[in-house]
Every structure is written in structure tokens, then in C-alpha cells.
């Protein structure tokens, strides 16, 4: 079996941590039990490009239980959990191409290795796998039934491919399922981003000014959790509706050029490039902490910081301290890569349970509907989304009410007023 991981001797540690995650993923466990019996993915080759974490390991086992032949590579150079990779290889015979801290060339060579598997279904987090197929490996396209996409940034890329008429196979936007972004993006990113910042720095949030750039689902989550820890939160936005929402949620909303001189901690979650750049570093306080929790490491202009500094040192494992000419120090966390996965462990398993339940069920949907789909970006079927919500509620022991016949009738009746 061909694979490329850091250290196979980490497998026992990985196995235990995967077991822990599995215990917190009841919906995926149910799907796995059904997949074991029904084998809906028999004979399907899948290449997955995901953050290689313990939760991803549980998803890979679920797909394998369904009969799929799976390989996985990293979707980010700094997010891999090397022990989880080792266990996937050692205990589950699932090839992994991922090493935490790999350079960009290795990152892309790992994607190419995963594509040697000649996937019939692709699974992406950020769309690097699909983009590599479209730009370098078009020969694989005739065999591809379709793929799934996990994250907002990936869905934006795919929609741009669709709009430019270059998309060559169907894709399902898993991110857009309600049971994905309402929970994973908000509560998952909210908690894990704060977790990453704290693990990297051990700062006390209480009393600090935290600037959250972007008030999408992820930004909403981070702002909420930072406030919960006693931080004074500022939101920056370009979208008037989101800015208004942030203001009415009780945050201070202002331009980044104004926030730059006030903030103690800056977190970018916009999905866009150079949100924090030279003009902002120029006015930041001494000791400011800057990090990113968006998918790509483009949101902070790191090359500007490199240009502006006279000294750089790694003061803690995930903290690079840049000393500027005037003596001010700016601390960049996790090399500007997503801080929740570089310095912490990503979203907790119980929220990945819903995201990855959607992934598993969408892969099954693709396999079953291979002939009827076209080269488009599809939403997650409503039945899948609702089913995931129902199963999650059940696993939490929460019962909800049912409409009475009279209530159903009322909702379809236009003549009844006061
Ligand atoms: N994305 C965010 N958190 C994650 C996790 N724990 N596993 C896989 N992908 C993730």
C-alpha cells in the first residue's frame, strides 16, 4: 500500500483518539451500521482531500464500511493530525498522504498521489482536489460520477467554475446544508478558533478587544464565543446586511482601518484576500495578536509583515513574533493558516458528526444517482438535511412536537383570519 505519513508508530495514540471521536459521532455511527449491511458504495473509488483529523478518520471508516475504496490527502498543510493518519494506515488499511507542516510542493504532490487512485467520487474541503483535476488531470474526468464540497470557500470556487462553464462533473455543496453551516461553521468554528488562539498563546480573553473580520456563519460564532469569555468584540464587514446584524447583535461595527489601532486580537474569517495588510500593521498596538480562521492563508498579508519587520522569531510553538522598525511587536499565529486546525484540533467531534453525516449520505446519493446528474453545483437534498437533524436530535434525547391535524389544516387554509 502506497502512503506518505509522518510516523507509523503514532498509530496506537491515533487509534485511541479516533475511538474517542467516534463515541461523540452517533449519527455517523448509525450511518456506518446501515452502510455495513447495505454496502451502497461497493466498488466505488473515492479520493478525499480533507483535514486529516480523528473525525475525518471516522468518516473514512464509514465510507469503507459502505464498500468504498478510499484514499485521503490533506486539505491544508498544517491541519493534519499525524497520529490519526498513522492509525488509518495501520489499523484500517486506508492510504493517507498528509504530514503536518508539509511545504506547498509536498501538499500538491499529496493531492496528485490521491488522484492516482482514479476516483469515481471526489470529496473536497476547499476544492483543491477538484481544481487540480480540472487543471492537470482531465483524463480522470470521464470516470468521475461527481463530488462533494465541505466548505464555504470551496463552494465559492465551484460556483465560479460553474458560472464560467468550466465545471466538468456534478458537485454537491455540503457546506450549504442547514445541518452543516448553522452548526459546524457557527458553533464549531466559534469554539475551535477561540480554542486555537488560547492553546497558541494562553492569553486571557476577558477585557481584551477582539476584532472579528467577517460576520458570516464562522464570524458570528467567533464573535459570540469571544464575547462569552469577556472580550470586547468589534466586527468589521463589507456587507451592509451582515454589518447591520452585527450591530444589532450588540457588537461595535467599524472599518478595519479604525479597528486596527484598537484591537488586541484580530481574527479573519472572510474568505477573501489581504483583509489585514500593511496599512493596518502600521497602526497596530505593540503586542497585537493576528490570526486567521478562514480556509486559505491569504487573508493576512504575511509578505507585508515580512517586509516591514527587522526581526522575526518563533516565541512559542504557533506564535511568530515580528519586530517592526519602530520596536512594536506583532504576533502572527499559525503562519496565518486556520488557527483552529493548526494550533488546536479543529471542530469538536459532535459537530463534525452532522457535517460528515451529510458527506456520507451525499456520497451515497451520488452513487445512486450517477446517471441523472449534470455538470452543476447541487444543494444537499432536503431529505438528507432533515434526516441528519432528526437523527442528531434523537441522539441528544430531544423530542419535538408534531403538528395536530387541525394545525396542519390551519397552515394550508387561507380563509381563516382572526
Ligand atoms: N474542519 C474543521 N474541523 C474539522 C475536524 N475536526 N475534522 C475535519 N475537518 C474539520
Q: How far is the CA of 406 from the centre of ligand 1 (A)?
A: 44
Asked if residue 332 and residue 286 are part of one domain, the reply reads yes
Distance between CA atoms of 40 and 57, rounded to whole angstroms?
Answer: 19
Distance between CA atoms of 161 and 401, rounded to whole angstroms?
Answer: 43
Asked if residue 117 and residue 70 are part of one domain, the reply reads yes
Convert the pLDDT of each residue in 287-318 to its tens digit: 999 999 999 999 999 999 999 999 999 999 99
Asked if residue 143 and residue 87 are part of one domain, the reply reads yes
Residue 55 near ligand 1, beta carbon < 6 Å: yes
Q: How far is the CA of 346 from the centre of ligand 1 (A)?
A: 5
User: Which residue range(s) make up the domain with 99?
Assistant: 8-180+347-395
Residue 112 lies in a domain: yes
Task: Output DSSP code: residue 380.
Answer: P
Contact predicate 99/84, CB 8 Å: no
Question: What sign for the dihedral angle of Cα 217, 220, 225, 231?
Answer: positive
Contact predicate 235/212, CB 8 Å: yes
Residue 416 lies in a domain: no
Residue 319 lies in a domain: yes
Q: Which alpha helices (DSSP H) does 4-81 contain, by range?
A: 11-23, 26-38, 54-65
The widest CA-to-CA distance across the chain, in whole angstroms, is: 75
Asked if residue 22 and residue 170 are part of one domain, the reply reads yes
Residue 221 near ligand 1, beta carbon < 6 Å: no
| Residue 175: CATH number of its domain | 3.40.50.1480
Q: Which residues contact 396 (CB under 8 A, 6 or more apart)?
A: none
Asked if residue 354 and residue 335 are part of one domain, the reply reads no
Per DSSP, the three-state class of 377 is strand
Question: Is a pLDDT exceeding 90 seen at residue 417?
Answer: no
Mean pLDDT value of segment 226-236: 98
Question: Is a pLDDT exceeding 90 seen at residue 418?
Answer: no
- Percent of the chain at pLDDT exceeding 70: 100
Convert the pLDDT of each residue in 344-392 to its tens digit: 999 999 999 999 999 999 999 999 999 999 999 999 999 999 999 999 9
Residue 79 near ligand 1, beta carbon < 6 Å: no
Three cell numbers written together for 170: 456534478
Asked if residue 154 and residue 276 are part of one domain, the reply reads no
Residue 51 near ligand 1, beta carbon < 6 Å: yes
Residue 220 near ligand 1, beta carbon < 6 Å: no
pLDDT band at 198 (very low <50, low <70, confident <90, very high): very high
Residue 320 near ligand 1, beta carbon < 6 Å: no
Say how many C-beta atoms besides its own lie within 10 A of residue 94's C-beta. 22
Q: Which of 347, 363, 346, 357 is nearest to 392 (CA)?
A: 357
pLDDT band at 416 (very low <50, low <70, confident <90, very high): confident
Q: Which residues contact 35 (CB under 8 A, 6 or more apart)?
A: 41, 62, 63, 65, 66, 67, 360, 364
The interaxial angle of helices 349-368 and 11-23, nearest 10 deg, is: 90
Q: Which of 358, 410, 390 is nearest to 148 (CA)?
A: 358
Convert the pLDDT of each residue in 80-129 to its tens digit: 999 999 999 999 999 999 999 999 999 999 999 999 999 999 999 999 99
Task: Give CA angle at 322 (321, 326), nearest 5°.
Answer: 130
pLDDT band at 339 (very low <50, low <70, confident <90, very high): very high
Per-residue CA distances from 294 to 111, 185, 275 (Å): 21, 10, 11
Mutate to test the pocket of ligand 1, among 53, 355, 360 (most ligand atoms within 8 A of CB): 53
Contact predicate 18/57, CB 8 Å: yes
Q: How far is the CA of 351 from the centre of ligand 1 (A)?
A: 9
Asked if residue 269 and residue 158 are part of one domain, the reply reads no
Contact predicate 300/272, CB 8 Å: no
Say how many C-beta atoms besides its own lie within 10 A of residue 86's C-beta. 23
Residue 95 near ligand 1, beta carbon < 6 Å: no
Question: What sign for the dihedral angle of Cα 403, 404, 405, 411?
Answer: negative
Asked if residue 317 and residue 245 are part of one domain, the reply reads yes
Convert the pLDDT of each residue in 139-174 to its tens digit: 999 999 999 999 999 999 999 999 999 999 999 999
Asked if residue 376 and residue 277 are part of one domain, the reply reads no
Task: Output DSSP code: residue 183.
Answer: I
Beta bridge partners of 47: 71, 122
The total of structural domains in the chain comes to 2
Q: Which of 35, 230, 49, 14 is nearest to 132 (CA)?
A: 49
Asked if residue 59 and residue 22 are part of one domain, the reply reads yes
Residue 414 lies in a domain: no
Residue 305 lies in a domain: yes
pLDDT band at 251 (very low <50, low <70, confident <90, very high): very high
Q: How far is the CA of 215 from the centre of ligand 1 (A)?
A: 20
Supply the Cα-derived Rg of the chain in whole angstroms: 22
Q: How far is the CA of 407 from the centre of ligand 1 (A)?
A: 40
Residue 410 lies in a domain: no
Residue 352 near ligand 1, beta carbon < 6 Å: yes
Asked if residue 202 and residue 121 are part of one domain, the reply reads no
Domain boundary among 327, 342, 357: 342
Residue 17 lies in a domain: yes
Residue 418 lies in a domain: no
Task: Output DSSP code: residue 375.
Answer: S
| Residue 319: CATH number of its domain | 3.40.50.720
Domain boundary among 342, 357, 383: 342
Asked if residue 358 and residue 259 are part of one domain, the reply reads no
Amino acid at each position: 500500500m502506497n502512503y506518505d505519513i509522518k510516523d507509523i508508530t503514532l498509530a496506537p495514540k491515533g487509534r485511541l483518539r479516533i475511538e474517542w471521536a467516534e463515541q461523540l459521532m452517533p449519527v455517523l455511527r448509525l450511518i456506518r451500521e446501515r452502510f455495513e449491511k447495505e454496502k451502497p458504495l461497493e466498488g466505488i473509488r473515492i479520493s478525499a482531500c480533507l483535514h486529516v483529523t480523528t473525525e475525518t478518520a471516522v468518516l473514512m471508516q464509514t465510507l469503507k464500511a459502505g464498500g468504498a475504496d478510499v484514499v485521503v490527502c490533506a486539505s491544508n498543510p498544517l491541519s493534519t493530525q499525524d497520529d490519526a493518519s498513522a492509525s488509518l494506515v495501520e489499523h484500517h488499511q486506508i492510504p493517507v498522504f498528509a504530514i503536518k507542516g508539509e511545504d506547498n510542493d509536498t501538499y500538491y504532490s499529496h493531492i496528485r498521489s490521491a488522484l492516482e487512485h482514479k476516483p469515481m467520487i471526489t470529496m473536497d474541503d476547499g476544492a483543491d482536489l477538484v481544481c487540480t483535476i480540472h487543471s492537470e488531470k482531465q483524463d480522470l474526468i470521464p470516470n468521475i460520477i461527481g463530488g462533494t464540497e465541505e466548505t464555504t470557500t470551496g463552494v465559492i470556487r465551484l460556483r465560479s467554475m460553474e458560472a464560467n462553464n468550466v465545471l466538468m462533473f456534478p458537485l454537491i455543496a455540503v457546506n450549504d446544508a442547514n445541518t452543516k453551516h448553522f452548526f459546524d461553521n457557527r458553533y464549531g468554528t466559534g469554539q475551535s478558533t477561540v480554542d486555537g488562539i488560547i492553546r497558541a498563546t494562553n492569553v486571557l480573553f476577558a477585557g481584551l478587544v477582539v476584532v472579528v473580520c467577517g460576520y458570516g456563519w464562522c464570524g458570528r460564532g467567533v464573535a459570540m464565543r469571544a464575547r462569552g469569555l469577556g472580550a470586547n468584540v468589534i466586527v468589521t464587514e463589507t456587507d451592509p446586511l451582515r454589518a447591520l446584524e452585527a450591530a444589532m447583535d450588540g457588537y461595535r461595527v467599524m472599518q478595519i482601518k479604525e479597528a486596527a489601532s484598537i484591537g488586541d486580537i484580530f481574527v479573519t474569517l472572510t474568505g477573501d484576500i489581504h483583509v489585514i495588510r500593511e496599512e493596518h500593521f502600521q497602526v497596530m498596538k505593540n503586542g497585537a495578536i493576528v490570526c486567521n480562521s478562514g480556509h486559505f492563508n491569504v487573508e493576512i498579508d504575511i509578505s507585508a509583515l515580512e517586509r516591514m519587520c527587522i526581526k522575526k522569531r518563533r516565541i512559542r510553538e504557533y506564535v511568530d513574533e515580528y519586530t517592526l522598525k519602530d520596536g512594536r511587536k506583532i504576533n502572527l499565529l499559525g503562519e496565518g493558516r486556520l488557527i483552529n486546525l493548526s494550533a488546536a484540533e479543529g471542530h469538536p467531534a459532535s459537530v463534525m458528526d452532522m457535517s460528515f453525516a451529510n458527506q456520507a449520505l451525499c456520497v451515497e446519493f451520488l452513487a445512486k444517482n450517477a446517471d441523472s446528474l449534470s455538470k452543476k453545483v447541487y444543494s444537499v437534498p432536503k431529505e438528507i438535511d432533515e434526516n441528519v437533524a432528526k437523527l442528531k436530535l434523537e441522539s441528544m434525547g430531544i423530542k419535538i412536537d408534531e403538528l395536530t391535524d387541525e394545525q396542519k389544516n390551519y397552515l394550508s387554509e387561507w380563509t381563516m383570519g382572526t
